[in-house]
Amino acid sequence: MARPWRIEYEGALYHVFSRGNNQQDIFVTDADRYLLLDTIGQMSERFDNDIVAYVLMDNHYHLLLRTPKANLSRSMQWLGTTYTRRFNLEHFRSGHLFQGRYKSILVENDAYLMQLSYYIHNNPLRAGIVKRLIDYRWSSYPAYAYHRRHPGWLNKDLILSQIHGENKHRQYREESQKYSDENRRIWEDIRHGFIYGSKKFVKKIKNRYNVSEPDPAITQQKSILKSSDPVQFLEKASKVLQCDLERIKNCARISESDKLNRDILLYWLWQEGKYTNVQIGDLFGLTYSSVSRRVTIIRKRMQLEQDFQSQVETIKSQIKP
């Protein structure tokens, strides 16, 4: 079977979905659902993705997202691999969890994205799981329709900014209810199986990416990724941090200040989304699990300490590409 063609560019909008292997459930308990939501949040942070909407069903999930960087494939590969590993550890199992690679649909603009949000939010209703969408906990619908609490990584601005009036949540709710029977029309408007938009948009994509020869574009994307140099990045970053990179990398015992600088460097490499924990660990003489622990410590501190978060982000902004 031919691999699906992945079109990636900065600011692209996507509808992404992935099913369990052999249609099996990808959740056993509610804790698994929270685990996937947390992993999605980490993906959003690490790869700088805007998660616009989501719904978790028993054997699959849907995401609407925007990629400010052209990195959908790396983002979704990390999400699938990371959740599978965590799920398997939790349930003492091994092997694949998802059925092949994720599926993605390129979306033309915010207006089409809003229509897709109605579609994915209505999944539990169409499946007969609930009689009212507000009763379904595992989607972003309550956040849009009733302004309920939602994960901090959920970006509602793209959709709500299109609704005019004082009560945007009520208007979203009313429009979503009208859209409950539009499943067939949505899929009739999917062009070539992977583009949701106008004929003009399809023509633009064809001209830009040369549909008849997609492989060279994919190869170029891979070569760009391989050409990135983490050592060069570390050298620039250590100068901005004003720390001795060699001392941090080679000394068995380092001071607390050096340890903090090392962990910040680890976090920045992790956040780039280009390198595995094993690759990052090799640069510092650490195991992949140590890298994971150090990154978690920095992430939690940034969440708890606003000043620390601002300091880390300000320093990183000084690193010249």
Predicted confidence pLDDT, tens digits, the chain (321 residues)? 445 567 899 999 999 999 999 889 999 999 999 999 999 999 999 999 999 999 999 999 999 999 999 999 999 999 999 999 999 999 999 999 998 889 999 998 988 899 899 999 999 998 899 999 999 999 999 999 999 989 999 999 999 999 988 899 999 999 888 775 555 556 556 766 688 888 888 878 877 765 444 444 343 334 334 445 777 778 888 888 888 878 777 666 788 888 888 888 888 888 777 677 888 888 888 887 888 888 889 888 888 888 888 888 887 887 765
User: For residue range 46-82, what is the model confidence (pLDDT) as tens digits?
Assistant: 999 999 999 999 999 999 999 999 999 999 999 999 9
Tell me, yes or no, whether 195 lies in a domain: yes
Tell me, yes or no, whether 4 lies in a domain: no
pLDDT, position 121: 94
> Hey, what amino acid is at 48?
D
Tell me, yes or no, whether 49 lies in a domain: yes
Tell me, yes or no, whether 124 lies in a domain: yes
Contact 46/273 with Cβ under 8 angstroms? yes
Strands (E) in 88-216, as ranges, are 103-107, 190-191, 195-196
Beta bridge partners of 50: 66
Tell me, yes or no, whether 3 lies in a domain: no
Tell me, yes or no, whether 125 lies in a domain: yes
Alpha carbon distance 55, 62 (integer Å): 5
pTM of the entire predicted model:
0.71
Q: Which helix (H) or strand (E) holds 54?
A: strand 50-56
Domain of 146, in residue numbers:
12-219
Tell me, yes or no, whether 34 lies in a domain: yes
pLDDT, position 217: 39
Contact 71/102 with Cβ under 8 angstroms? no
Tell me, yes or no, whether 5 lies in a domain: no
